[in-house]
Structure 1
């Protein structure tokens, strides 16, 4: 036994001496191609569902939440990203928000696909360097109307003592220890449940007068007294709403394949044409939903069409207040994994002073527009959230590593992680369920591949650097 202990110690010492950086902490290793590196990118594969993106009043600071990949922030207008999860216990978030009057203060609705006691409201007062769980609530991330809907709203008119004091949260409908419409009057430190039946609603606050708008399956409601009482404005289901600082009395709402605009805080309404938007949901989905408006151009809008299929959720853009719409174009250069352009709901963050700049997402990667939403391009540097499993280092070629991922096939580096190559093990193109792999050299390798979650794994081999793969029909002992 003493001999074995000594050998283990010597091996440990060897690694500490050979790789001293390990003792100093970990560095991110985002995936990127040689082409992307040559273009000056640091890389970022993304690969976790983006739930929301918040932007501050300068346009430089952004906060992005994912479903199970934690939180990221950018300090250069959404060009580069880094994690900000110190002290943040949830694996992901359902919504992110930044105090409009003090960008040191973040509010995040912690959550992921499973419900845990430490979800709920998390507050940071130092731009995400530390976090506290000020309102623990056990909930998942996909409760109706789903992740990323307008569930947090600040009342900018309540600024005092260095912070915006009044904040509303429409807690998801699956909260097991009390959902509903919550209100804080001390910047998110403490909360009260105003109306338990108003959980899972879209909410917005009038930018100057503090009116609270709530939209849900029973209709549209307005409060002029901080949520003490409400007047119902519509009795049909509301699928989205948006206000704008450019015209504070304006309020956009979305109903079933219908967009309405009020220019007098909900007193009267005008129907918008919606030209260019689909007139039905191919797979029985909600159709038009989640409308967003620029804070400085009240005619610049985005909207999502939920078809009912998770892989088909296209977004549209209007520059004339909702009468005419187009689909944006997404430049997929430098996107490492298949991008699933239409597969994810758009989460736009409009720049507060330049209407041409919008930071959003396409698939599971951040993109950025500089022409008001007509065209988007890769802006995902630093967002390295791919979920991998166990992997092995090659003892004979220490620059060669094959990593298998839960949803996105596999990836190979032959230069120690400086650049990577996407491996389409499954043959599905968009991704695949790969677990356990190894590269003998740059040509010969194997990976476990399953046809879906919880399905059996089979051994696949390649002898041409991952260009083609063969199913050996040898089944592994476990599923994904």
Structure 2
């Protein structure tokens, strides 16, 4: 046979990219994760960062300061949490890193707070560790993909630039770059596919695939952001300088109103935009910028800037856009306008409103993260401490992808909303009304609380005058009546929030299902306290309140007058996280936890009983012998910090059986867990080691079925936790590993209408409703 000559390939012309049309996402029903757990809530109200938009699929990510990475596969219309065992987010939002996307459309990269890099080959469902050779204290700042070569990824770090040529399996350090990365741009239309890379002191370029870099531009001031875009009309580079004193001169006129520190912070995060068109040199623009500067790689004309989150007057929420390479700029978003009286939000015709915005307020000061679709300049998104907004049409209209209006017409304050799955607020506990299972209340941080009148299908915010509602109590005979315990400090009992606190708070009463509230405790030095618990004895018309400092108060005249109700409790500070009323007798039970941080009352903590039925006036501690946990280290003490208890009030025998959980926070290593007594507190035994348990429940249909919610160290180095349950009264235990949120379970509630369903609540994760595995 005649040898086949070696073919001579025809040179491929430089492509002229076609602008990507703005996608129109198909309306999506509320998400149901593959595990069967449906998120509930109104969305928003918590800090988000690391917003990420894939240029190769309809795949988005965003993280929360409470540790969860959320994923959307429909351009933000619906969200599901990534399982905590696969990936988490970090609470240090200053080090937050957006997810990176490989050009194959399915490989993604994640590094929470810039460390412990992980890679997913299935669009973020599962992740595995990768080794990148990071130096000590070196952090990843961003990922950047080569859109024309799916094998190539870059990672900008605090000390350089790394490159992978095999989709992240191995990484090499680009020599000669030792400064912190500011931004990277690849000109896909350049004959050499030129790479531009910016540090704080210079812009570099490479025409050999990153093998070597040379200096392209050295500015007089530090570079804060860098971006670039290229298309048929040429290449545009943009950067922001650090000339805040001149760029943000407007701030000085507000010195008397805001103070020097706020002025200094604004100036420090401000600078001018500089633009380089077709390599003719950088020219200073009149436009100023704060924290973010963005361009799509295939669009040389469109540039986005934002304000800075440290800027005063919430100017940090401003988004300006240029469509002529910086020649002119248009304000496309300003969440709340301080320059009009009264302050006004961006028009609802251009910005999708939410329950948090309407009922709580427009409190974001800027964007913790701001992202652009690398190949579609119409698509950007920004996230802050309360909200996330996205646009699919270049900023003409902004969506609130964390929520969905459940009503008709124009959204208003007090309206009903549905979850899109992006739930990042803390829900301390949930309660159904005892005689109306359609009525569900959630006690929450930051937004007070929410209530559903349709069994969780939709919710509305129920707001008191304090940050957190910790508990509710009901009138079983009137489902319009609800009581709330509230305070100004959130996140009890986490860390220092477990301590005794002289904080403001009150008990409230509503006669319209939380649409409005009346303060029923006096606003004076005695009763203006943080309240953690509330109980209502409907038989005797007595209201009880538990504080985070001065114990229990009560009122026998519907809140007209109050008195201390601490007889039988120890002297000193008293924290009462839970109060329960026996609906058959009116007898009251209250939990006294440790007086952190001193922990002087360890011998007196536990469940206290008030025999109202027999006219008792003094509480009795139901703590006889607390047996030392088998296998525990010697020399420890028990019950430094109880957190919850559960009693079965359905039978007389059930009332003698009490479960209690406690919380490790005083060096009592592996001494905490689930405790049980079957003789009304005469003898207690630990039936399960749990390190940070926060709530225990008994199934009212079967008192042998026990449920516990607890925080959990995912690596297993710090005891047990998670969503736990027992079928046999605590003899054996199982963990429900199906909900994607595994580290931050805070509460558990049984569905009174469906024994096959359960409702979990979470620290920074909202609520998940789904299968009850304890069947």
User: Could you tell me how far 1:291 is from its partner in structure 2?
Assistant: 0.8
Of 463, 468, 475, the match for 2:517:
468
What is the CA–CA distance in structure 2 between the aligned matches of 1:140 and 1:312, rounded to whole Å? 33
Which residue of structure 1 aligns with residue 198 of structure 2?
215
Equivalence for 1:288:
290
**Any stretches of 5+ residues in structure 1 without a counterpart?**
1-23, 33-43, 113-118, 144-148, 174-178, 278-286
1:41: which partner in 2? none
Question: Matched residue of 2:398: which SS?
Answer: strand
User: How much has 1:205 moved relative to structure 2?
Assistant: 3.1
C-alpha distance in structure 2 between counterparts of 1:308 and 1:69, whole Å: 23
Partner of 2:147: 156
Cα deviation, residue 370, structure 1 = 4.5
Q: Among 160, 166, 179, which residue is 1:186 paired with?
A: 166
Q: Which residues of 2 match residues 420-439 of structure 1 at below 5 A?
A: 420-426=459-465, 432=467, 434=468, 436-439=470-473
Largest Rg, 1 or 2:
2
| 1:105 Cα offset (Å) | 0.9
Give the structure 1 partner of residue 443 of structure 2.
404
CA contact (8 A) 2:378 2:394 kept: yes
Number of paired residues? Answer: 403
Give the corresponding residue for 2:222.
237
Cα 1:212/1:442, change in 2 over 3 Å: farther
Runs of at least 5 residues in structure 2 that lack an aligned partner in the other structure? 1-33, 91-95, 243-270, 334-345, 403-419, 492-496, 522-526, 530-546, 549-574, 576-594, 597-762, 764-775
Structure showing greater relative contact order (alpha-carbon pairs closer than 8 Å, 6 or more residues apart): 1
Change (3 A) 1:324 1:25: closer
Query: Is 2:269 aligned against 1:260?
Result: no
Secondary structure at the counterpart of residue 207 of structure 1: coil
Q: CA RMSD in A?
A: 3.6
For 1:111-126, what aligned pairs fall within 5 Å after superposition? Answer: 111=113, 119-126=115-122
User: Structure 1 214/68 Cα, relative in aligned 2: closer, same or farther at 3 Å?
Assistant: farther
Match of 1:167 among 149, 153, 168: 153
Whether the 8 Å contact between 2:469 and 2:485 is mirrored in structure 1 is yes
| 1:87-117 deviations in Å (ceiling 9; x for gaps) | 4232345211212x310111122239xxxxx
Question: Cα gap change, 1:357/1:90 in structure 2, threshold over 3 Å: closer, same or farther?
Answer: closer
Paired residues of 1:47 and 1:364 also in contact (CA < 8 A): yes
- Cα gap change, 1:343/1:411 in structure 2, threshold over 3 Å: closer, same or farther? farther
Distance 2:217 2:205 in 1: 7
Q: Structure 2: how far apart are the matches of 1:303 and 1:211? A: 24
Q: Secondary structure at the match of 2:119?
A: strand
Asked whether the 8 Å contact 1:330–1:377 carries over to 2, the reply is no
The aligned residue for residue 186 of structure 2 is 205
Alignment of 1:269-348 (within 5 A): 269-274=282-287, 277=288, 288-306=290-308, 308-309=310-311, 313-318=316-321, 319-322=323-326, 323-328=328-333, 329=346, 331=348, 333=352, 335-338=354-357, 339-345=362-368, 347-348=370-371
CA distance in 2, matches of 1:437, 1:79: 32
Distance in 2, Cα, partners of 1:370 & 1:205: 23
Does the Cα contact within 8 Å between 2:310 and 2:365 map onto a contact in 1?
no
Structure 1 residues 25, 151: CA separation in 2 closer, same or farther (over 3 Å shift)? closer
Q: 1:462 to 1:296 in 2, by over 3 A?
A: farther
